[in-house]
Amino acid sequence: MPETQQLQFSEIATQRKRRFADRSASVGVIGLGYVGLPLCILLSEAGFNVTGFDIDQKKIDDLEAGRSYIFRIPADDIQQARKNGFRATADFSRLAEQDAILLCVPTPLTNHREPDLSYIRDTAAAVAPWIQPGQLIVLESTTYPGTTDEVLIPLLESGNLRGLKAQKKDAPGLADAFFVAFSPEREDPGNTTVARRDIPKVVGGHDPVATELAATLYEGIFNRAVRVSGTRVAEMTKLLENIYRCVNIALVNELKVLSLRMGIDIWEVIDTAATKPFGFQAFQPGPGLGGHCIPIDPFYLSWKAKEYDFNTRFIELAGEVNEAMPEFVVQQVAKALNRQKKPLAGSKILMLGMSYKKDIDDLRESPSLTIIELLRAECAEVEYNDPYHPKVGRGRHYNLNMTSASLDDLEKYDCVLILTDHTTYDYDDIVLRAKLVVDTRNATKGIRSPTVFRC
- Determine, following the binding rule CB under 6 A, whether residue 30 of this chain makes contact with ligand NAD: yes
Does residue number 425 form part of the binding site for ligand NAD (CB under 6 A)? no
Cβ count near 257 (within 10 Å): 17
For 286, residues 6+ apart whose C-beta sits below 8 A from its C-beta are 249, 253, 325, 367, 440, 441
Does the footprint of ligand NAD cover residue 32 (CB under 6 A)?
yes
Residue nearest to ligand NAD (CB): 33
Q: Which of 7, 9, 23, 33 binds ligand NAD (CB under 6 A)?
A: 33
Cβ atoms < 10 Å from Cβ of 337: 22
Rounded alpha-carbon distances, angstroms, from residue 455 to 184, 249, 342, 377, 444: 35, 15, 18, 21, 11
Closest to ligand NAD by CB, 261 or 396: 396
Task: Please say whether the beta carbons of 306 and 300 come within 8 A.
Answer: no
- Active-site annotation holder among 40, 293, 415, 455: 293
148 binds ligand NAD (CB under 6 A): no
Q: Does 293 bind ligand NAD (CB under 6 A)?
A: yes
Could you say which residues in the range 184-243 bind ligand NAD, by CB under 6 A?
Answer: 185, 187, 189
Asked if 159 touches ligand NAD (CB under 6 A), the answer is no
The verdict on 145 binding ligand NAD (CB under 6 A) reads no
With b for 16 or more beta-carbon neighbours within 10 A and e for fewer, the 306-334 pattern comes to eeeeeebeebeebbebbeebbebbbebbb
x/- mask, ligand NAD, residues 53-72, rule CB under 6 A, reads xxxx--x-------------
Percent helix / strand / coil, the chain, rounded to 5: 40, 15, 45
Helix (H, G, I), strand (E, B) or coil at 80: helix
- Give least dist CB 118 to ligand NAD, A: 8
Q: Closest CB to ligand NAD among 52 and 326?
A: 52
Kindly identify the residues of this chain, within the stretch 82-141, that bind ligand NAD according to CB under 6 A.
Answer: 104-107, 119, 122-123, 126, 141
CB 328 within 8 A of CB 362: no
User: Could you confirm whether 246 is annotated as catalytic?
Assistant: no
Q: Cα dist. 380→146, 220, 365, 453 in Å?
A: 46, 53, 22, 18
User: One symbol per residue from 379 to 398: x for binding ligand NAD (CB under 6 A), - otherwise; what is it?
Assistant: --------------------
Contacting positions for ligand NAD (CB under 6 A): 30-36, 53-56, 59, 104-107, 119, 122-123, 126, 141-142, 185, 187, 189, 292-293
Which positions are catalytic?
A: 293
